[in-house]
Amino acid sequence: MKRLFYRSLVRVEKIEEILCLVEETERIETHELIINSLDHVVLETILHHLEESWHHEFLGKLHDDFADEAVLLWLEGKAKSGWQEAVVNAIRETKEKIKSLLVD
């Protein structure tokens, strides 16, 4: 799995469950699509919970090292209360949507 600053907020086994729903030949591409979708929803949720004045610095930190989990500590002091729960919920909902699309 790609190194992600928000890895500690993701239940990796759920991604693996989703990947088992597709043909083996499609798993790499599906994995990339899932991670890209999660990246998008995580960034959107964090930016929503972060004062606009901090956006540039936050994005700069990710640009320097997208895998640096110290970003989570930085967010603790900058983001609005409840940001972490909102990110976890957004990740869960996104994985559920992806899974439902594959099952149907």
Sign, CA torsion 78/80/85/87: negative
Q: What is the pTM of this model?
A: 0.91
User: 27 lies in a domain?
Assistant: yes
Cα separation values, 60 from 5, 54, 63, Å: 13, 10, 5
Domain residues for the domain of 91 are 7-103
Instruction: Please return the burial class of 12, using the count of CB atoms within 10 Å of its CB with bins 0-12, 13-18 and 19+.
Output: exposed
Integer Cα distance of 62 and 80 in angstroms: 19
Residue 104 is predicted with a pLDDT of: 72
Number of domains within the chain: 1
Q: What is the pLDDT along the chain (104 residues), one digit of tens a residue?
A: 678 999 999 998 999 999 999 999 999 999 999 999 999 999 999 999 999 999 999 999 999 999 999 999 999 999 999 999 999 999 999 999 999 998 87
User: 1 lies in a domain?
Assistant: no
